[in-house]
Amino acid sequence: MHRFANPTQFMRIADAVYPWAAGLSLILFLAGLPIALVTSPPDYQQGETVRIMYVHVSSAWLMMMVYGIVAANSAAFLVWRHPMANLVAKASAPMGAVFTALALITGMLWGQPMWGTFWVWDGRLTSTLILFFLYLGYLALGDAFEDSERGDKAAAILALVGSVNLPIIHFSVEWWNTLHQPSIIKMDGMTVDKSLLLPLFLMMGAFTSYYVAVLVLRLRSELLAAKIRNARMSQVAVNQAAQPAE
Amino acid sequence: MTRKRQRLYFVVLGLLGFGVGAALVLTAFQDNIVFFFSPSEVTTRHLAPEQRFRVGGLVEAGSLVKNGEDISFSVTDLSSTLKVQYRGLLPDLFREGQGVIAEGRMEPGGVFIASEVLAKHDENYMPREVADALKKSGRWNEGGATQSGMPANNLKPTSTTPASPNTTNP
């Protein structure tokens, strides 16, 4: 595993993955969107509203997965000081925040017509809102220190502490009475009919590969920015050495 | 190497400790985190008359009476039933046999006066034809379909709950 801590090694693999992830995402969106939004059958009790599920569940799946990635990479950064792990966590967090916002917004738009309310403070909705604040806190804390390394460490610790929230979000609908319905993915199978499951899986795959592709792009630009910073620093050092201050 | 080991143990122990702490806090606040009580819990809890709370369950079949905007129905968890009165608009999904959550307070006569009624649906999604096929083959249980979405005391999923639609879809 530690081989991938080397940015050159890591980016060699990431660059190889990128065209596949980007292509897969494009294909899955092109295949999944028409099925999800037009041709799949409406639900027996929710009617056409059920189409919100394809965006809502996909966003919710990614907000969980991305937070898991942020937390795991933060742990690797704290324990082994791998800069690449920190970079992956920092590049993923804004995307996770956006997916969480999407899950919250689509959930509200879905809740109003079906439940009769945009928002309630039940276990699932509240813990998801906390996840959104954890993402925002991670991003803010990382930039809050003069010394960027101290900021990275503080943010990584926050990400780890916040990972306690992941099982809470997942099991909230089983541990407590909630307005939100239980999970559609169960140990003994899915509670969604095949005709609705196909577009759901297509959209979840599309979202996931989209995240992977954009992550590689963000890592590339982060590494380039670091290179430029280093080049500037050494330029300044060279200039200073050439003209010693009086 | 030893420093890395130390940090690893520190992170793992820290996470464990924090997880246990969170679990204890959540267990302690269990009663405040539940979103609603079932009708059985309402009777056993002896809630103060002025206390506002939510009651959740299934709308009992045949109990719905509409008189203009005045609505009355019974909420049941299949072992206990609570009469609810409400004035206002009902969500689209509201019907007999459907999951429902009402917020309000108890009147001295044992009637729950609701100020807000929300519909609760289950996690079974399927097209109408599949639902009809399930009903036709007798594997459908309107109450049961909603039961799995109602983790209250007496609403544990039972064998009457329809099997996952996948397995029955021809």
Q: Does residue A30 belong to the interface with chain B, where contact is any CB pair within 8 Å?
A: no
Backbone angles phi, psi at A180, to 5 degrees: -65, 140
Contact between A128 and A103 (Cβ < 8 Å): yes
Q: What angle do CA B33, B34, B35 make, to 5 degrees?
A: 110
Contact between A53 and A32 (Cβ < 8 Å): no
Select the residue of A79, A115, A189 nearest B166 (Cβ to Cβ): A189
Give the distance between the most distant pair of CA atoms in chain A: 82
Q: In the block, which residue shows the tokens 């809050």?
A: A144
Please state, in angstroms and as integers, the Cα–Cα distance from residue A14 to each residue in A31, A95, A217, following that order. 25, 17, 9
Pick the CATH number of B35-120 from 2.40.50.140, 2.40.110.20, 3.90.79.10, 3.40.50.300: 2.40.50.140
Q: Over chain A, what HEC string results?
A: CHHHHCHHHHHHHHHHHHHHHHHHHHHHHHHHHHHHHHHCCCECCCEHHHHHHHHHHHHHHHHHHHHHHHHHHHHHHHHHCCHHHHHHHHHHHHHHHHHHHHHHHHHHHHHHHHCCCCCCCCHHHHHHHHHHHHHHHHHHHHCCCCCHHHHHHHHHHHHHHHCCHHHHHHHHHHHCCCCCCCCCEECCEECECHHHHHHHHHHHHHHHHHHHHHHHHHHHHHHHHHHHHHHHHHHHHHHHHHCCCC
Q: How many residues belong to chain B?
A: 170
Tokens of A12: 């060699």
DSSP state, residue B55:
E
Structure ipTM: 0.79
Q: In the block, which residue shows the tokens 């003994």?
A: A188
pLDDT at B160: 37
Domain ranges of chain B: 2-32, 35-120, 128-165
Residues 7-66 of B with CB under 8 A from A: 7-8, 11, 14-15, 18-19, 22, 26, 30, 33-38, 56
In angstroms, rounded to a whole number, what is the distance separating the alpha carbons of residues A70 and A87?
A: 10
pLDDT at B24: 93
Chain A residues inside the 8 Å CB shell of B7: 78-79
pLDDT at A185: 76
Q: How far does the CA of residue A15 sit from the closest CA of chain B (Å)? A: 30
Higher pLDDT, A156 or B169: A156
Backbone angles phi, psi at A215, to 5 degrees: -60, -45
Chain B residues inside the 8 Å CB shell of A190: 164, 166
Contact between B118 and B91 (Cβ < 8 Å): yes
Select the residue of A50, A78, A177 nearest B56 (Cβ to Cβ): A177
Select the residue of A41, A177, A193 nearest B36 (Cβ to Cβ): A177
Q: How far does the CA of residue A90 sit from the closest CA of chain B (Å)? A: 19
CB contact under 8 A, A50 and B125: yes
Tell me the pLDDT of chain A (246 aa) as tens digits.
677 778 888 899 999 999 999 999 999 999 999 999 999 999 988 889 999 999 999 999 999 999 999 999 999 999 999 999 999 999 999 999 999 999 999 999 999 999 999 999 999 999 999 999 999 999 999 999 999 889 999 999 999 999 999 999 999 998 888 999 988 877 677 788 888 999 999 999 999 999 999 999 999 999 999 899 989 989 888 888 887 655
Q: How far does the CA of residue A176 sit from the closest CA of chain B (Å)? A: 5
Residues 51-110 of A with CB under 8 A from B: 53, 75, 78-80
User: What radius of gyration do chain B's Cα atoms show?
Assistant: 21
β-pairing verdict for B111-120 and B81-87: parallel
Beta strand extents in chain B (DSSP E only) = 53-59, 65-67, 70-76, 81-87, 99-106, 111-120
| Single pTM value for the model | 0.87
Strand partners, A47: A43
